[in-house]
Chains A and B, each alone.
Chain A
């Protein structure tokens, strides 16, 4: 079974600074997808960024980028130029390429952005 671990329950960053959230996962599969979701106080889960395991290039979406290290099974999220609206719980998630749409989530990291 796949597992996802986020070792940082809480992180804080100053507005306009950069922060990196960590995620490691365990799987015996070679083809899969990884995601970062954001859950603000409204509880709406928002897809932030996605990575396909067969792609070596790290995904980037505006101020959000990932550092995907397949051999190390590591998938960290970097948020540049942090904004107050980035404050939320961030979840790392794994999805196998086969076997449907099931997502396995990490425990989450609560990000605080200080003005």
Chain B
């Protein structure tokens, strides 16, 4: 069974631009969560989607948004990029019937 996939793996953007990251969960998983990992703040929860609905949201500004499609694939969007948005963005998926989550390889975003 294929694992969680994230595209692109690496991205370089300029301050002020916007970016869209994609996450495809493991087949059969309907929950998708997003995390931001930085050296200074560690791993922080962004939001969670389940059956196309946002179920949880972390403490991030409105520039960070996401959505989930009917096939459970999820995208997150960051508008008006700031230098501080440079981070590894991780996506995790899980089944509703299980408390385990499995992570993708991440997207490394660099904002210059």
CB distance from A14 to the nearest CB of B (A): 28
Question: Which of B45, B99, B108 is within 8 Å of A50, CB to CB?
Answer: B99
CB distance from B44 to the nearest CB of A (A): 8
10 closest A-B pairs by CB: A45-B103, A105-B43, A100-B56, A100-B55, A33-B99, A102-B56, A101-B31, A100-B48, A44-B105, A102-B45
- A91-102: CB near B (< 8 Å → 1, else 0) gives 100010101111
- A37-52: CB near B (< 8 Å → 1, else 0) gives 1000011111100101
Q: Given the interface contacts A52-B99, A95-B99, does A101 sit within 8 Å of B48 by beta carbon?
A: yes
Complex-state Cα separation, A44 to B3, whole angstroms: 11
A101/B101 in contact, CB under 8 A: yes
**What are 16 A-B pairs with beta-carbon distances under 8 A?**
A33-B99, A43-B106, A44-B103, A45-B92, A47-B102, A52-B99, A91-B43, A97-B99, A100-B50, A101-B33, A101-B56, A102-B45, A102-B56, A103-B35, A103-B43, A108-B42
Q: Given the interface contacts A99-B56, A101-B31, A102-B33, does A42 sit within 8 Å of B45 by beta carbon?
A: no
A residues near B90, Cβ cutoff 8 Å:
45
Complex-state Cα separation, A52 to B56, whole angstroms: 21
B105/A43 in contact, CB under 8 A: yes
Residue from A35, A45, A97, A105 having most chain B Cβ neighbours under 10 A:
A45
Interface residues of A in 57-105 (CB under 8 A from B): 91, 95, 97, 99-105
Complex-state Cα separation, A12 to B104, whole angstroms: 27
Chain A contributes a number of interface residues (CB within 8 A of B) equal to 24
B42/A107 in contact, CB under 8 A: yes
B66 at interface by CB-CB < 8 Å: no
Question: Which of A37, A99, A100, A108 is within 8 Å of B31, CB to CB?
Answer: A100
Complex-state Cα separation, A106 to B37, whole angstroms: 12
